[in-house]
Amino acid sequence: MSIIPLHPNDRICMKKPHPCGGTEFLVLRVGSQVRVVCKTCGRDMTLDRIKLEKSIRHILPSDENQKETETAK
Ligand SMILES: [Zn+2]
């Protein structure tokens, strides 16, 4: 299986939607576990990287032109 390159601030689209209905997540921290935050409801969660990679539909290109003032800590 190919490893999906993940970086903090990447936005990912999941196959399975969050209970809130959102499918877009923002990557906060990458390691053996990945911390992501739901863009729709703002909830964050930590997932095993392997599990996460399986549930990623695609990675959205980070729009650097768009100035998003998100200070998610
Ligand atoms: Zn959500």
Q: What are phi and psi of 29, to 5 degrees?
A: -145, 140
Q: How far is the CA of 30 from the centre of ligand 1 (A)?
A: 19
Mean of per-residue pLDDT scores for the chain: 87
Q: How far is the CA of 2 from the centre of ligand 1 (A)?
A: 27
Q: How confident is the model at residue 52 (pLDDT cuts 50, 70, 90)?
A: very high
H/E element holding 8?
none
H/E element holding 13?
strand 11-14
- Chain segment 11-36, per-residue pLDDT in tens: 999 999 999 999 999 999 999 999 99
Distance CA(73)–CA(65), nearest Å, equals 22
Distance CA(15)–CA(17), nearest Å, equals 6
Q: How far is the CA of 5 from the centre of ligand 1 (A)?
A: 23
- pLDDT over 80 (residue 42): yes
